[in-house]
Structure 1
Amino acid sequence: MNPGDKVIIHEPSFVAYDPIVQLAVGVPIPVEASVGSEFKLLPQQLEAKITDRTKLVFMI
């Protein structure tokens, strides 16, 4: 990962993911899941957060 690269993180998630990304000089991008979707990410949520700087997606 290069400085400024983005990492999409499924929320809620393990609390250490955000700091780990920051320590690796990345930018954490949270994507909130809700009870209504049974805490699953919907394709349109994920697609809305992806940019050309996205290097990683934490899927849990």
Structure 2
Amino acid sequence: MGRRALSFSDRADIAAGILAGRTDRQIGADLGRDHTIIWRERRRNSTKTRSYRPVSADCSAERKP
């Protein structure tokens, strides 16, 4: 299976799952992704005060080579 980057839609679904109180495993199952991808995405793009922001995460991902 090839590697597929997260889309903005995926990131929006992650944010919605977080707000709904779902676990990384549950969100990953909904998106058809491994839970570690969700965990890494949250870890990279969350702050202590602002939580996970899908727009900021998507902009950050677009800046990376």
- TM-score tier after normalising by the smaller chain length: 0.3 to 0.5
Higher relative contact order (CA 8 A, sep 6+): 1
**1 or 2, which has the higher helix percentage?**
2
**1 or 2, which has the higher strand percentage?**
1
Q: What TM-score, normalized by structure 2, do the two folds share?
A: 0.35
Q: What TM-score, normalized by structure 1, do the two folds share?
A: 0.37
